[in-house]
Structures are given as C-alpha cells and as structure tokens.
Amino acid sequence: MSLNMNFTIETDAKRRVITEKIYGIWKKETAEKYHKEYMEEAKPLLKGKWAKVINLCNWKPSYPEVIDIVSEHLDWCRANGMVLSINIIDNPLTINQLKKMFQGGGTSNISRVVKTAQEGEKILRENGF
C-alpha cells in the first residue's frame, strides 16, 4: 500500500483491483510521484486483466500539466492490463479535467464515472471483479 498526503494506492491481488483515493490540488511533481508509486504497486496485477477504482471526491482542479501526466498514466495502465476504470466523483469542476485525461490516455471507452462507492462496487461485480 502506498500512502502520501495527496493519494493512497492499495492493491487487492486476489480480486485484481487497485483502489485509490486522491486528495487536494495536484502539481506536476505530485502526478509524477503518483505514477511512479502506482507502477510499483500494480506489479502483482500486470500479467492479466485488472480494474481500478479511484475516489476523487476530495480532489480539486489541478494544474494544467497534470492532465498530460495522468493521461500518460492511464495509457500505461491500459497497455498493462487495465480493462476497467471506475471514477467516484461528485465535483462538476473536476469532471471536465478527468474527461480530458480519459481522452488523452485512450480510456474513454473503459472509464465509468459514478457518484458513490456503492455504484462503483456494483460495476466491479458486473464485470467479474
């Protein structure tokens, strides 16, 4: 499990799901650190298909360069077996940034946006996770 003031990342290898919580306003350095730690945390899942659940309810609109870095992160996730991305978000200001990241990372077709963890859990189960 990776803990940071701006994010947590936890892998459930048995279920093949990575759960994240994202906090605050991100700068370039935060996004880079996140991706580096994520690649390490995801290693047990990289030999198959997996999903991620991201709680973005405490995330704030971030610096513009973060969009490119997270887009690259999503591209890496997709290229390394991620088949489903569930994004729990209730802030309309951050949804626009998130959608730009989906487009940049090529994950628009596998990304779902929900308002509650219960909705996310339902989608995970429906998709075999």
Q: Phi/psi of residue 88, each to 5°?
A: -90, 115
pLDDT of residue 4: 67
Q: What is the mean pLDDT of the chain?
A: 93
45: which DSSP letter? Answer: G
- Beta strand ranges found along the chain (DSSP E): 2-3, 7-12, 17-24, 50-59, 82-88, 111-114
Q: In the predicted model, what is the mean pLDDT of residues 81-100?
A: 91
Residue 64 has pLDDT above 90, yes or no: no
pLDDT score, position 96: 86
CB 11 within 8 A of CB 37: no
pTM of the model: 0.90
pLDDT digits (tens, 9 = 90+) for 13-56: 999 999 999 999 999 999 999 999 999 999 999 989 999 999 99
The CATH code belonging to domain 2-126 is 3.30.750.24
Per-domain boundaries in the chain: 2-126
